[in-house]
Structures are given as structure tokens and as C-alpha cells.
Structure 1
């Protein structure tokens, strides 16, 4: 067992290995394979095989800088999606106690408490004042 482990470590030396993008493509390919068990669709099966081949290609690649850049692009896109989702979740959580208005000058979102009637709102970014009903 120890011999195999050393051999595998020497083989993987200088190769990229696994990262978040590789895990995502692996999960998607396994999900596609599970779907093909119940619903026989050759396109989904082909997609799963292509994703598996791409995942192993990335993991065994020696072009580390390129694989790192691919992973960084994926992480940036993932962060944007998660940030939008968290913002939406926060707005839904506060929708009964606060309202959100956009500044007419700079489109900055400004959160104000509900139930205050007509109030003058001053944008913290561009200092424009506008009147809205909460």
C-alpha cells in the first residue's frame, strides 16, 4: 500500500490536481450519469463523459498557471452569483421593516425604515436629496 502511495505521489508531482472547478464538473457529470440510469438519454450520457474527460484532463495537466486562471474565473462568477443571492435573501428578510430606493443621480441603493411617511432621503454617495413615501 505504501509503495502505491509513493508511486501515485511521484506521478502527480508537477500536475495541477483537484480544485473547486474540478469538483463542480465532477459533481455535474455524476449527476448526469445518475439521470441516465433512470432516463436513457444519449445526449446526457455523452455530456457526462465529456465532463469527466475534461475534469481528468484538468487534474492531470502540467500547465498549472492556465488551470489556476480557469479556476479563478469560475470562483469570480460563483462569488457574483452568491453575492446576488445573499443580497436578495437580505432584502426578503427585511422587506417588512425597510424599503430600498435607488438614488436618481447615481443609482445607489438606499435602505430606509418603513412607516415614516414622506421623508427626505439624502444619498450618502452623491449627496442628492429626494423625497419618497415609505
Structure 2
């Protein structure tokens, strides 16, 4: 078992490997496989195979610099989407105890304790005071 592991390590030396774009392509591939199991179309089969080939090509590529640039471009698009959804999930989890308001001056999102009524809030980023109304 150790000899096979050493051969794989030696083979993968100098190759790019797996990154966030690989995992995103993997999720897309599984979603397409799930859809393809219900709706049998040749387009989905071709698309699934193309994604799988792309995943293997990227993982075994020796051009590390280009793969890193591809991953950075993907992350530049993905991170804002991810942050919006994580904030939405956090808002839903804390709906019983906190409210989120945006600062009127610097547009920072503030997490406020849920106390009904009008309050004066000091923004930690721009240090300005503004009034908020928490109704529910």
C-alpha cells in the first residue's frame, strides 16, 4: 500500500491538484447528473463528460500559474455571491435576537440587538450616529 501511495505522490509532484474551482465543477457535475437521471438528454451527457474532462485536466495540469489565475477569476465572481448568501443565512438564524441595518453614511451592515422602538446607533466604521427604528 505504501508503494502505490509513493508512486501517486511522485506522479502528482509538480501538478496543480484540486482547488475551489474543482469543487464547484464537481457540484455542477453532480447537479447535472441528478437532472439527467430524470430528464434524459444527450446534451446533459456531453456537458457532464466535458466538465469531468476539464476537472481532470485542471487537476493534472503542470501549468500551475494559469490554473491559479483561473481559480482567482472564479473566486472573484464566487466570493460576493457566497458572502451575500452567508449573510442571508446568518440573518435567518438570528432573526429572534438581532436585526440588521445599513449605515446611512458608509453603507456598512450593522448587527443590532432586537429591541423594539427608536434607537440611536453609532457606526463602528465611520463613527457617525444615526437613528434606527426596529418595529418587529
If the length of structure 1 is used for normalisation, what is the TM-score? 0.71
Alpha-carbon deviations, 1:85-125, whole Å to 9, x = none? 22212222232333322222222223333334222222222
Alpha-carbon deviations, 1:15-50, whole Å to 9, x = none? 223334224324433543454344221111111111
Counterparts of 2:3 and 2:97, CA distance in 1? 64
> 2:36 matched to which residue of 1?
36
Greater Cα radius of gyration, structure 1 or 2: 1
Counterparts of 1:110 and 1:34, CA distance in 2? 39
Number of equivalences:
134
Quick check: 53-62 or 66-75, which moved more? Answer: 66-75
Q: Which runs of 5+ in 2 are unaligned?
A: none
Quick check: 78-87 or 99-108, which moved more? Answer: 78-87
Counterparts of 1:7 and 1:95, CA distance in 2? 53
| TM-aligned CA distance change 1:99 to 1:23, over 3 Å | closer
| TM-aligned CA distance change 1:45 to 1:88, over 3 Å | same
After superposition, where does 1:29-68 map in structure 2 within 5 Å?
Answer: 29-33=29-33, 35-68=35-68
Counterparts of 2:116 and 2:3, CA distance in 1? 73
> 1:128 matched to which residue of 2?
128
If the length of structure 2 is used for normalisation, what is the TM-score? 0.71
Q: Which runs of 5+ in 1 are unaligned?
A: none
> 1:25 matched to which residue of 2?
25
Quick check: 119-128 or 47-56, which moved more? Answer: 119-128
Counterparts of 2:106 and 2:120, CA distance in 1? 17
Counterparts of 2:94 and 2:27, CA distance in 1? 34
Compute the RMSD of aligned alpha carbons. 3.1
C-alpha displacement of 1:75: 4.4
